[in-house]
Structure 1
Amino acid sequence: MNILITGGTGLIGRHLIPRLLELQHTVILVTRNPQKARQEFHDRVTYWKGLADKTHLNEIDAVINLAGEPIADKRWTEAQKQRLCSSRWNITQQLVDLINASETPPTVMISGSAIGYYGDLGEVVVNEEEPPHNEFTHKLCARWEQIACGAQSDNTRICLLRTGAVLAHGGGMLAKLTPIFRLGVGGPIGDGRQYLAWIHIDDMVNAILWLLDNDLRGPFNMVSPYPVRNEQFAHALGHALHRPAFMRAPATVVRLMMGESSVLVLGGQRALPKRLEAAGFAFRWHDLEEALQDLVG
């Protein structure tokens, strides 16, 4: 298959693209910086510098849309909120317009979203049908998904990746937390009771490949079947690193440091991958401690 990818140099893309190449797919990577991307993938992929000069996607069999400004890297000022939205909405709209302008459109677009779609639902068990709280993360993801669904037709199916916390070696949340925990000063955040819906990078990649190959559409919670509370996660990470994990970060301090974006760590979703499991996808990593041992142990 000829597969067009946006956001391919991000955490998920860096693991997904090598797997696609192993499976003998042809990968076209949309990037603002082909020179930097080439350092990662060399000449194994084709590089497009943006989409402005494209008028259709007739030669593309599938689109995987992972582009977006990292959501947790900066405080949510109004300007940063706009960057978070536009970095997702604009390129998704470009892809939709190109798909709709194609005589032979891609058969599938797999487009990013996040379990932030649901907002902070506390103890509620969240599947793909759960009504959301109307918070910023919901507004961001809901509009993102709405734009992507504009390409849905009899010829093109749309899959939406409502992704949780992706656990991977050398990137994502583990890259930020592991140095702190190695120093012995890690621990729960706030009261530690909030749920963390996580997924091992291997399962994340395998689930995308599953959606690519199976006739499925709609939203999918990209999370392990077993979400954990924040205090359980802290204990498991400390255990994997053979370090104590009792230095609790008070909620007031976290709010002071992060502002509105503190909801990302003080809130949570008890999300389950109901639709993935119903479709027959088999997770490799169910147990958090085993997953962390594989990644950082």
Structure 2
Amino acid sequence: MEVVVSGATGLIGRALRASLEADGHRVVPLVRPGRPGRGVAWDLGRGTIDAAGLEGVDAVVHLAGEGVASRPWTRAHRDAVLRSRVDGTALLAGALAGLTRPPSVLVSGSAVGFYGSRGDAMLTEDARPGHDFLAGVCVAWEAATRAAEAAGIRTVHVRTGMVLSSAGGALGPQRLPFRLGLGAKAGRGTQWMSWIHLDDEVAAIRHALAADALSGAVNLVAPHPVTNAAFAQAFARSLHRRAFLTIPRLVTAIPFGVGALADSLLFASQRAVPAALLKSGFTFRHADLGEALASL
């Protein structure tokens, strides 16, 4: 199978590429111009893509997008987060729709941020979208695949939760303070966190590529979400430490976009469950948080 992957140098993209290539599949990355021979060139700034390089591929996995937490949430950064996802997805979907030999499936990134902060509500793929910035990004991100769907390409929107990996991601910035015994819950810690082990993230994307009956929104999260307080305790235990501190909600009052970022990432409550994945026959390797953290 020949699979085009955008975001192939990111945390998930690297792991997905390694997994596919280990099984003999050919991975073709989407790359910026000026890197001949390394993949299919695309230029978001100019709105161009080498459509000929997409002709005849079997599948496309679209993961590219500006890092949400890479900088404080200034207006410019929030615009970059939105535009990199919406414009990039629309450019790719439009190119796929115009091919003579299009791929059979497009797996396109999204996030559980789609649901906004929803308290204790159990969130399956049928739940309505939220109203905050990240929810708006996810709604527009998913809508940007419309051209591919209209062309008959099976499209899957993978709404990913917090990805756990020893190679980086959400655990990276937290590891040192937790190792130093400075692990903390955010506020009261009652907000829900939807997480997934990187191994299961990759396996679920590959499952979405292969499962012909799977389309539309799919929550890529483990079956058992946990509260923020429970996550802090489990992470501390995995490092043979204790977590007894609290990050005050006052942090969200910090200016220059840092407060808004902290509010969305630390205090939002999303109790998402993988209803569509489980219904389609997917089996998790790491369904328990304690075991998942121990494996890392």
TM range (shorter): over 0.9
Partner residue in 1 for 2:51 = 55
Partner residue in 2 for 1:109 = 106
Partner residue in 2 for 1:41 = none
C-alpha distance in structure 2 between counterparts of 1:256 and 1:33, whole Å: 39
Gaps of 5+ in 1: 39-44
SS at 2:185's partner residue? coil
Partner residue in 2 for 1:292 = 293
> 1:1-297 alignment to 2 at 5 Å?
1-32=1-32, 46-50=38-42, 52-56=48-52, 57-153=54-150, 155-215=152-212, 216-256=214-254, 258-261=258-261, 262-295=263-296
Q: CA deviation at 1:95?
A: 0.8
Residues 188, 245 of structure 1: 8 Å contact kept: yes
Q: CA deviation at 1:254?
A: 4.5
C-alpha distance in structure 2 between counterparts of 1:226 and 1:34, whole Å: 44
SS at 1:99's partner residue? helix
TM-score w.r.t. structure 2 length?
A: 0.92
C-alpha distance in structure 1 between counterparts of 2:33 and 2:165, whole Å: 24
* Partner deviation per Cα, 1:101-158 (whole Å, 9 max, x = no partner): 1011110000000000010001111000011221111110001000113211464100
Q: CA deviation at 1:31?
A: 2.4
Gaps of 5+ in 2: none
Q: Which has the higher strand share?
A: 2
Residues 113, 162 of structure 1: 8 Å contact kept: yes
Q: CA deviation at 1:255?
A: 4.1
C-alpha distance in structure 2 between counterparts of 1:167 and 1:131, whole Å: 26
Partner residue in 2 for 1:42 = none
Cα 1:201/1:53, change in 2 over 3 Å: closer
C-alpha distance in structure 1 between counterparts of 2:40 and 2:51, whole Å: 13
Residues 197, 223 of structure 1: 8 Å contact kept: yes
Q: CA deviation at 1:217?
A: 0.7
TM-score w.r.t. structure 1 length?
A: 0.92
* Partner deviation per Cα, 1:1-59 (whole Å, 9 max, x = no partner): 11111001111011110001012111111123887xx9xxxxxx942342535134222
Cα 1:33/1:197, change in 2 over 3 Å: farther
Residues 106, 155 of structure 1: 8 Å contact kept: no
Q: Which amino acid aligns with 1:220?
A: V
Residues 49, 95 of structure 2: 8 Å contact kept: no
SS at 2:135's partner residue? helix
